[in-house]
Amino acid sequence: MDITVNILLTIATAATPLLIAAIGELVVERSGVLNLGVEGMMIMGAVGGFGAGYLTGSPWIGLLAAIALGAVFSLLFAVMTLSLATNQVATGLSLTLLGLGLSGMMGTSFVGQPGARLPNLDIPGLTAIPVIGRLLFGQDPIFYISIALTAAVMWFLFKTRTGLTLRSIGDSHTSAHALGIQVIRYRYLAVIFGGACAGLAGGHLSLVYTPQWVENMTAGRGWIALALVVFASWRPWRVLAGAYIFGAVWIGQLHAQAFGIPVPSQLLSSLPYLATIVVLVLISRNKRLTMMNTPASLGQPFVPDR
């Protein structure tokens, strides 16, 4: 029983950064913007979170720094694609490349240093309940944030007027603009929200998952988060499900390596990436359904005419 609980806990830890980054990107894409810089913003959050936690000794300050750095970094993307109407695919790629380089540079002195870890929740009495105690009341704080965030985004997108407006912008920015909606302003806020989420996801990696700084420690998670959004057909609860499936794949291959299964460890390590491809194939196969789900103005630059 204890083993099962432990495995479930590690799956949740692996799924949390994917979930947060994907939920952020989902809001961005719902507004009609494709930000391929998730990996870059995430790694900036990871290095910023670790650095601030390490220098101040407080993982909480690290957490805030991770969010702030992700948001600030995404602002670069927003200025480029929204104010200067640059190609979103290319700009997102350059954000990722810049983030990987900058974080490597900023993190040079952090390599090999012991980091500060965010403490797990511990509620006297509740956490000690067998089995469900640790699952419900004994996880790291970002886990609870990730669940709350998913619920909040669901409510925001589908139950509020602002959410409806945001979705309408994603489906047709020209119509939204004609109705007097401030398309660019909404998109700025969405992109910054996505950046903050990606930063938080990176912070989870360097403050909870492995409390240390390793170069390129995001290891493609930002890209998997992007794939999760497609997999989820732009629906928050499906992102939640997808993130946990991928968390399970990630943890499963680690456990398989630890058990010494007679399969090359590299093959096991490549499973999350191969699984991403398989999942994308399965979900995109139906062209009509995909077209129906995809925000119609996704990735198209918008320049208000006047």
Partner 1 sequence: MMRLELVKRPQRSMLFSALSPFIAFMLTIIAGAILFALLGVNPLKAFQIYFLEPVSQVWQLHELAIKAAPLILIGVGLSVCYRANIWNIGAEGQFILGGIVGSSIPVLFPQFEGPLVLPLMLLFGMVGGAAYAAIPALLKTRFNTNEILTSLMLVYVAQLFLDWLVRGPWRDPKGFNFPQTIQFNDSAILPELMPASGRANWGFVFALVAAVLVWILMSRMLKGFEVRVLGSSPRAGRFAGFGINRMVFFAFMLSGALAGLAGISEVSGAIGQLQPVISPGYGFAAIIVAFLGRLNPLGIVAAGLVLALTYLGGEAVQSALGISDKVARVFQGMLLFFVLGCDTLIHYRIRLIGFAAPKLESAPKLEEAR
Point out which residues bind partner 1 (CB under 8 A). Answer: 36, 76, 80, 83-87, 89-91, 93-95, 97-102, 104-105, 108, 178-181, 219-220, 223, 226-227, 230, 264, 266-267, 269-270, 273-274, 276-277, 280-281, 284-287, 290, 303, 305-306
Minimum gap (Å) between residue 83 Cβ and partner 1: 5
**Which of 159, 287 has the CB closer to partner 1?**
287
Cβ atoms of 118 and 222 closer than 8 Å = no
Residue with the two structure tokens 């995909």: 290
Minimum gap (Å) between residue 184 Cβ and partner 1: 8
**Which of 43, 157 has the CB closer to partner 1?**
43
**Which of 104, 252 has the CB closer to partner 1?**
104
**Which of 139, 218 has the CB closer to partner 1?**
218
Minimum gap (Å) between residue 70 Cβ and partner 1: 16
Cβ atoms of 8 and 196 closer than 8 Å = no
CB atoms within 10 A of CB 118: 21
Minimum gap (Å) between residue 117 Cβ and partner 1: 26
Residue with the two structure tokens 């399965």: 282
Indicate the burial class of 273 (C-beta count within 10 angstroms; 0-12, 13-18, 19 or more).
middle
Minimum gap (Å) between residue 36 Cβ and partner 1: 7
CB atoms within 10 A of CB 139: 20
**Which of 148, 278 has the CB closer to partner 1?**
278
Report the SS3 class of residue 296: coil
Of the candidates 4, 21, 211, 45, the residue with the CA atom closest to the CA atom of residue 119: 211
Give the largest Cα separation in the chain, rounded.
66
Cβ atoms of 140 and 121 closer than 8 Å = yes
Minimum gap (Å) between residue 292 Cβ and partner 1: 13
**Do you know the residue count of the chain?**
306
CA distances from 151 to 11, 56, 139, 235, 268 (A): 20, 32, 18, 11, 33
**Which of 139, 206 has the CB closer to partner 1?**
206
Of the candidates 15, 34, 10, 40, the residue with the CA atom closest to the CA atom of residue 220: 40
Residue 94 Cα to chain centre, angstroms: 18
Minimum gap (Å) between residue 272 Cβ and partner 1: 8
**Which of 178, 258 has the CB closer to partner 1?**
178
